[in-house]
Amino acid sequence: MTTERESRELTQIGPGTIMGDLMRRYWLPAAKSAELERDGAPMRLMLLGEKLIAFRDSAGRVGVMDHRCPHRCASLFLGRNEEGGIRCIYHGWKYDVEGNCLDMPSVIPQQDFKHKVKAKAYRVVERAGLVWVYMGAEHATPPLPGFEILDVPESEIGLALVQRDCNYLQALEGEIDTSHFGFLHAGHVEPDEVPEDGPIHNTITDRAPQYHIADTPWGTQYGAYRPAGAGRTYWRFASFGFPFWTFAPNGEFASHVHARAWVPLDDGHTMFFYLWWKRGESSITQPTPAYKDGSPIGGAGRGNKFLPNTTDWLGRWRLAANAGNDWTMDREAQRNNTIYSGIDGIHLQDQAITESMGPVTDHTFEHLAPSDQMITRTRRRLLMAARALREKGVAPPGSVDPDVFRSVRSGYLHSDGEHPWQEVYAKKLAAAVHPSAVPLRAAE
C-alpha cells in the first residue's frame, strides 16, 4: 500500500519537492519546435509547476525563461520579440535567450546596470522536432537521454502531443499496466473472432497474464507472458525509464523503436509526448486491428480531435473529448458490446480512465493486486531514487549515464521453449532492427 506521505512525495513536482528536484536532473521535452516562430509571439509554457515563456529569436535560437521581468515582474508574455531578444513592454528592458539584459532604455546611461541583471532562463536544445529544457543546476547539465529514437533522422520520426488533465504518475502508470488491455481496450472481442496471428489474439485469449518484474539501470521492466501453444510463449515486454518515460508493448519487438514521456506541467496536468520510428511495426504505423472478416474492431478508432490552442498556461494540445462531455462515451455501444468501454479510441480510453481518477489520485484508497506489481515496483524505484538524491546526493538513474537507455526496447513477441525471461529479452534485442544500422530512406 502507498502511504499518504509516499503519495505526496510521488505526485508533487513543484520547486523544492523531492520529486520536483529529481525531475530537474533531466532534460524535459517541452514543446514542438514548430510551435515557435522566429521573432514570433512568445508562448506561455507551464513546466514542473513553473510559469515560463518560450520564444525563438531573430537568429532562430529558443529561449525559455520565467515569465516575470526581473524589473517589476510584469509578464514577458506580453513582450515584443524583436531583434535578438524579448523586450518588456512596461519599461522596455530587453533580454536574450540566456536571460542576459541587453538594454535598459528607461534608465539614463550613467545609471545603467544591465550587466547586473539577468532573467531566470533555462538551458535549451532542439532535437527530434522538440524543444528540450533543462531546469536543474547549470553546472550539472547532463546529455540528452540515449534513446534509440533520438538516433533516427527527424524526417523518419512521428511526433504527437496530448495534454492530460491529471497527475503525471497516474498517466504514466496506465502505460505500464498490461492487464487492462484485455478489458478496457478489447473486452468486447472474443479470441475466435480475430486471426490467431493477430497482435491481440493472445492478449484476449488469456486476460490474466503472469509477470516477471525487475529493476533495471534505466528504471523498471516487466515481461508479461502467456502460453501460446506448442511449447511457445507470448511475451509483452515494457519498461519505465527515469524520470517519466514509458516504453509500451504496442508494436512488434523487432522494430518497435519509440519513447513516450509524461511530463508534469503542474501537479494536476501532464503533457504526453510520443516519438516513434515511422518505419517500425507498431499500432500507429500498421492498419487498424480487424476481425477475421476484415471489418474493423470497435473502439480502435484513431485520429484524436483537438480543441483550438489558446494562449492560456494550459491551453495547448487539449482533446475535444474530455470530462466535460464524458469523453464522448456511447452508452449504447457499451450496452450492445460494440465497444466494451463505450469510448472510441485506445488513447482516449486511457485518457478517460486516468482523468476519471481526479487531478491527483488518493493512493490510500487503492487495493492493489498481484497484477499491479509493475506499479508498486516503479513507485518504490522513484521514491528511493528521489530520497537518495535529497538525502545523500546520489544522482538518479540515467541522469549522468544516459547510455543506460540504449538497452530499452518494448513490444510483443513469441519465443520457443522455456528460457529465463531476461535471456529471451537479450536475445531478441540483439536480433532486433536498429535504426542506426538502417540506410536512410530516399526522399519521396
What gap in Å lies between CA 119 and CA 425, rounded to an integer?
Answer: 48
What gap in Å lies between CA 393 and CA 397, rounded to an integer?
Answer: 12
Q: Is residue 442 part of a domain?
A: no
What gap in Å lies between CA 215 and CA 415, rounded to an integer?
Answer: 22
Same-domain check for residues 118 and 152: no
What are 100's strand-pairing partners? 118
Q: pTM here?
A: 0.96
Q: Is residue 123 part of a domain?
A: yes
Same-domain check for residues 153 and 258: yes
Of 140, 162, 186, the one marking the end of a domain is 140
Write down the residue that cell numbers 528504471 correspond to.
219
Of 140, 174, 194, the one marking the end of a domain is 140
Q: Is residue 13 part of a domain?
A: no
Burial class from Cβ neighbours inside 10 Å (0-12, 13-18, 19+) for residue 217 reads middle
Of 98, 113, 140, the one marking the end of a domain is 140
Q: Residue 151 corresponds to which amino acid? A: D
Q: What is the pLDDT of residue 138?
A: 80
Burial class from Cβ neighbours inside 10 Å (0-12, 13-18, 19+) for residue 406 reads middle
Instruction: Please name which of 220, 260, 185 lies closest in space to residue 372, comparing C-alpha atoms.
Output: 220
Q: What is the pLDDT of residue 444?
A: 44
What are 212's strand-pairing partners? 223
Q: What is the pLDDT of residue 418?
A: 82
Same-domain check for residues 90 and 182: no
Q: What is the pLDDT of residue 68?
A: 98
Q: Is residue 107 part of a domain?
A: yes
Q: What is the pLDDT of residue 442?
A: 52
Q: What is the pLDDT of residue 443?
A: 46
Same-domain check for residues 72 and 217: no
Q: Is residue 348 part of a domain?
A: yes
Burial class from Cβ neighbours inside 10 Å (0-12, 13-18, 19+) for residue 319 reads buried
Q: What is the pLDDT of residue 140?
A: 82
Same-domain check for residues 156 and 98: no
| Angle value at C-alpha 346, between 341 and 348, nearest 5 degrees | 80
Phi first, then psi: give them for residue 264, nearest 5 degrees: -70, 125
Q: Is residue 18 part of a domain?
A: no
Beta strands 269-277 and 411-416, pairing class: unpaired
Q: What is the pLDDT of residue 74?
A: 98
CB contact at 8 A, 264 and 244: yes
Same-domain check for residues 294 and 415: yes
Q: Is residue 36 part of a domain?
A: yes
The length of the chain is 444
Same-domain check for residues 219 and 361: yes
Domain that holds residue 432: 148-437
Same-domain check for residues 166 and 114: no
Count up the domains in the chain and report the number.
2
> Buried b vs exposed e over 139-159: b needs ≥16 C-beta within 10 Å?
eeebebbbbbbbebeeebbbb
Same-domain check for residues 158 and 132: no
Instruction: Please name which of 245, 250, 276 lies closest in space to residue 260, comparing C-alpha atoms.
Output: 245
Same-domain check for residues 190 and 61: no
Q: Is residue 4 part of a domain?
A: no
Q: What is the pLDDT of residue 440?
A: 66
Identify the CATH number of the domain in which residue 127 sits: 2.102.10.10
What are 260's strand-pairing partners? 246, 274
Same-domain check for residues 124 and 203: no
What secondary structure does DSSP assign to 319-358, as a single string?
BSSSGGGGGG--HHHHHTTSSSSS--SHHHHHHHHHHHT-
Q: What is the mean pLDDT of each run of 10 residues along the chain (444 residues)?
A: 95 98 98 98 98 98 98 98 98 98 96 96 98 92 95 96 98 95 94 89 91 97 93 96 97 96 98 97 90 92 92 98 97 97 96 98 95 97 98 96 96 92 96 85 52
Q: Residue 270 corresponds to which amino acid? A: T
> Buried b vs exposed e over 2-29: b needs ≥16 C-beta within 10 Å?
beeebbebbbbbeeebbbbbbbbbbbbb
Same-domain check for residues 65 and 152: no
C-alpha distances out from residue 300 to 144, 181, 282, 313, 340, Å: 34, 12, 14, 31, 11
Q: Where do runs of H (alpha helix) occur along 33-166?
A: none
